[in-house]
Structure 1
Amino acid sequence: MEIHVITDGVQTVKEIIKKILMIHEEVDFLHIREKKKSASEVMEIVSALLENGVSRDKIIINDRLDVVQLQQLSNIHLPGNSFSIQTVKEFMPSLKIGRSVHTLEEAIASEKAGADYLMFGHLFATKSKAKLPPRGVELLEDICRSVSIPVIAIGGIVPETVSKLSNIKLGGMAIMSYVMASDNPSFALQQIKESLLEVEKNEQTL
């Protein structure tokens, strides 16, 4: 199962760079999701990561197609209110595109539109979405059964909730605050991985 780490929008540019450099070799993808930062700040983050050995193929930019172009990256993640998938595909056919979805209907439509993967959430209660009820595991299972492209779960994923994802054919899980807000992101990530390993062991014994 893929491990995605997403920046949480509250760290400084220097903090983001420092923390990502601590964990980049241990994850599959790194999402730069910084809606309040300027284009130049996002460019600075990406440039620093590339200069310090982070794989270009691991970096996924949220929404900022201009940064993707200028940095010659291969991945973009489109929020539900962003560009249409078809428009981006026509403009940059080789780009790998992810789409955030919140309903089964959105998931099916996004796959038909050409999305390469989906991100569904928020799954569990989380401080970043404190006023919104979690969408839950049942809807996640429905979406995973209904589409053929990978589905990445997000929202409230911590070591204690990883076990609730057992026996779901997920493409991966995305972690935001638990890793990025931690003073020791490497240790936080290791805790997630240990919980995931335990789940996988239990599934194999069933």
Structure 2
Amino acid sequence: MELSVATSADSLSKHNAEVFVSERRLIFWKRTAKFLITLEADVRTNKREPTQENPLWTGDFSDDSAQMILARAIFGEARGTKDDERVAVAWSIRNRLGRPRRFGGGTYHAVILKPKQYSAFLEGDHNRLFVENPLHTRNSLDLRAWDECYAIAGKVILSELKDPTLGSDHYHDKSIPPPKWAKQEYFKVRIGPFLFYAVP
């Protein structure tokens, strides 16, 4: 027996089929059993999970792994810097996980996606395209920077790299005027173009 069922994407479908079993008795067929079979199929569309090789945003950052969302943040905020500076940016993000009330939650997604925290994630920011599609330029420097940012994200998550920020949870580029929270008593260290702070 073959049963074909047409279903639409993103739906749960339920179908019934009656099956009759017959047996041959000399010159005639005798129906010996009747079964009602219910088929239930979950045909919801499987969402693609972005990978290092194909990091194109799906339109929903919750599809990203922790490593992916952290790599996007590092790339969007510090792709043009050296590895030690990228590590510092990653650690300043990780250091926020220990203060979920202040920074929106105890996950990388919650911390990074909290409104108005990281400019690269703001709609209209020139770095937003680099967050959504890190490979869009196909430029060899950007491709290498993406691979490095992705690797750094994994190593910071696994504590394979030490925190060079001395526990900082904020930073800003020295080229911009200091934000209100950038008080001298909170300052910890300068790494490359970034000034790092531990803000209570």
- Same fold, TM exceeding 0.5? no
TM-score range, shorter chain: under 0.3
Of Structure 1 and Structure 2, the greater strand share is in 2
| TM-score, normalised via structure 2 length | 0.24
| TM-score, normalised via structure 1 length | 0.23
Of Structure 1 and Structure 2, the greater helix share is in 1
Please say which structure displays the higher CA radius of gyration: 2
